[in-house]
Amino acid sequence: MGEQTTAREFHLPLEQIAGASADGALRYLEYRGDMARLGLAVNGEPPFADAAASEPAPPPAEPAPVSAPWCVTLLSPAVTLSQLRQLLTFFAEHGWPVTGVDTLAQSDTRTVLRFQIDAVLDFSTAKHACLQQAEKLKADLVLQPGDSQRVPALAGFDMDSTLIDAEVIDELAKITGIGEQVAAITEAAMRGQLDFRQSFKKRMALLKGFPETRLAEIAAELPLKDGAAKLLGALRALGCKTAILSGGFTYFAHYLQRERLPVDFVHANQLEFAQGALTGDVIEPIVDGARKRALLQQMAEDLGLGLDRVIAVGDGANDIPMLNLGALGIAIHPKPKVRLEAPQAISGFGLDAALYLFGLNDAQIGKLTQSGL
């Protein structure tokens, strides 16, 4: 029989954690610029024999206030002491002092640690360093300004492959028997290899003759992206206005708004029908990347909001302009080009993981859920 695993809490400096040679499953880490509280699942001899140890303590109800200029959030299915050591070494090698750490989530399927960093950074350079380190850790590592760790007042969302787990135009094409042909154009456009406006017109021309009667059937079968309902519901409960800004179609965006998700505003492309079938033409103005950004900026102005209260969420190349507009631009399961060009990116979790970037922990998110989400 194997040795029994027990949970223990160790009190020690971060430098001692970074120098540890042992490994183990991390339960939590709390640090306030003094001694760290490190919760580990210990199997056999404890890794810090000379450190003060105690029974695990309950997690704080709320994370500490953010006072540092930068935050780096680690999102992983399960964090090990070895991964934590690698990350602390990464911070030290870049000269990024850690002034605080909070555990925002700890469960069997996700661990989220937020590190406050007191350093002067070039954001683009630091972001790409974090992306490279994330690949080594096999996790997500998200850099953001410290003052962006708050609930936004306005959030703009792409629809296809962001709020729903499908590209609607590809679903229409499958019914007409040209699914592979249209899907290839869509993929090239989302990767930034084709101009969106040109690709959109080309795909619509191929869909000429699609019957209007099939739209309701497709709308009812569109799968939501994992975490979409939880995130949109939480934002509604927190008073944040939300908008769909889609290169897809108003018919499906309004269906989501009416039947599936709490969304305040919808901006998307209109379908043109004649005698019950798609004409193959497009109705201007096309909602492309530039228009998404302009619409989001106009909504902020109409609501009297500064761009520091605005965020955007998307996955494709046509989302990049709006992702770079406000306080946060979160690419969810992004294409490679978007992962590199978006300010923030989350690849390993659903949409609800964005809540951690607003400074919320699982206890706070759970209260929102209990309140009726």
Distance CA 130, CA 367 (A): 31
Fold of the CATH domain 154-370? Rossmann fold (3.40.50)
Give me the pLDDT at residue 166, please: 92
Phi-psi domain of 331 (left: phi exceeds 0; alpha: psi -120 through 50; beta: other): beta
Where residue 220 falls among pLDDT bands split at 50, 70, 90? very high
279 Cα distance to chain centroid: 37
Higher pLDDT, 71 or 188: 71
Where residue 50 falls among pLDDT bands split at 50, 70, 90? confident
Least confident of 11-20, 123-132, 300-309: 11-20
Mean of per-residue pLDDT scores for the chain: 92
Higher pLDDT, 350 or 44: 350
Give me the pLDDT at residue 1, please: 41
Do 360 and 231 touch, CB atoms closer than 8 A? Answer: no
Report the pLDDT averaged over residues 74-79: 96
- Domains of the chain, residue spans: 5-148, 154-370
Question: Could you report the per-residue pLDDT of 96-131, keeping only the tens digit for each?
Answer: 999 999 999 999 899 999 999 999 999 999 999 999
Q: Which pair of tokens denotes residue 2?
A: 């194997």
Give me the pLDDT at residue 44, please: 67
Q: What 8-state DSSP symbol labels residue 211?
A: B
Sheet architecture: strand order including 70-76 = 98-106, 111-117, 70-76, 140-145
Q: What 8-state DSSP symbol labels residue 256?
A: I
Higher pLDDT, 367 or 256: 256
Task: Indicate the helix (H) or strand (E) that contains 24.
Answer: none
Tokens 């105690």 correspond to what residue?
54
Report the pLDDT averaged over residues 129-156: 97
Higher pLDDT, 88 or 2: 88
Q: Where are the beta strands (DSSP E) in 277-343?
A: 277-278, 310-314, 328-332
Question: Could you report the per-residue pLDDT of 222-245, keeping only the tens digit for each?
Answer: 999 999 999 999 999 999 999 999
Question: Could you report the per-residue pLDDT of 167-212, keeping only the tens digit for each?
Answer: 998 888 888 888 888 888 878 877 777 788 888 888 888 888 989 9
Q: Percentage of residues in the chain with pLDDT exceeding 90?
A: 70
Higher pLDDT, 88 or 182: 88
Report the pLDDT averaged over residues 55-59: 81
pLDDT greater than 50 at residue 28: yes
Q: Which residues contact 255 (CB under 8 A, 6 or more apart)?
A: 219, 222
Report the pLDDT averaged over residues 52-77: 90
Where residue 4 falls among pLDDT bands split at 50, 70, 90? low
> Among residues 264, 266, 330, 317, which one has the least CA distance to residue 288?
317
Fold of the CATH domain 5-148? Alpha-Beta Plaits (3.30.70)
Report the pLDDT averaged over residues 267-291: 93
pLDDT greater than 50 at residue 256: yes
Give me the pLDDT at residue 19, please: 84
Question: Could you report the per-residue pLDDT of 265-275, keeping only the tens digit for each?
Answer: 999 999 999 99
SS3 42: strand
Q: Percentage of residues in the chain with pLDDT exceeding 70?
A: 97
Distance CA 353, CA 361 (A): 10
Q: Which pair of tokens denotes residue 64?
A: 């500490």
> Among residues 309, 355, 350, 358, which one has the least CA distance to residue 332?
350
Phi-psi domain of 333 (left: phi exceeds 0; alpha: psi -120 through 50; beta: other): left
DSSP for 76-145?
ESS-BHHHHHHHHHHHHHTT--EEEEEEEEESSS-EEEEEEE-S---HHHHHHHHHHHHHHHTSEEEEEE
Report the pLDDT averaged over residues 52-76: 90
Distance CA 133, CA 86 (A): 9
pLDDT greater than 80 at residue 47: no
Which residues are known to be catalytic? 158, 160
SS3 310: strand
Question: Could you report the per-residue pLDDT of 30-41, keeping only the tens digit for each?
Answer: 999 888 999 988
Give me the pLDDT at residue 198, please: 85
Task: Indicate the helix (H) or strand (E) that contains 71.
Answer: strand 70-76
Neighbour tally for 237: CB within 10 Å? 16
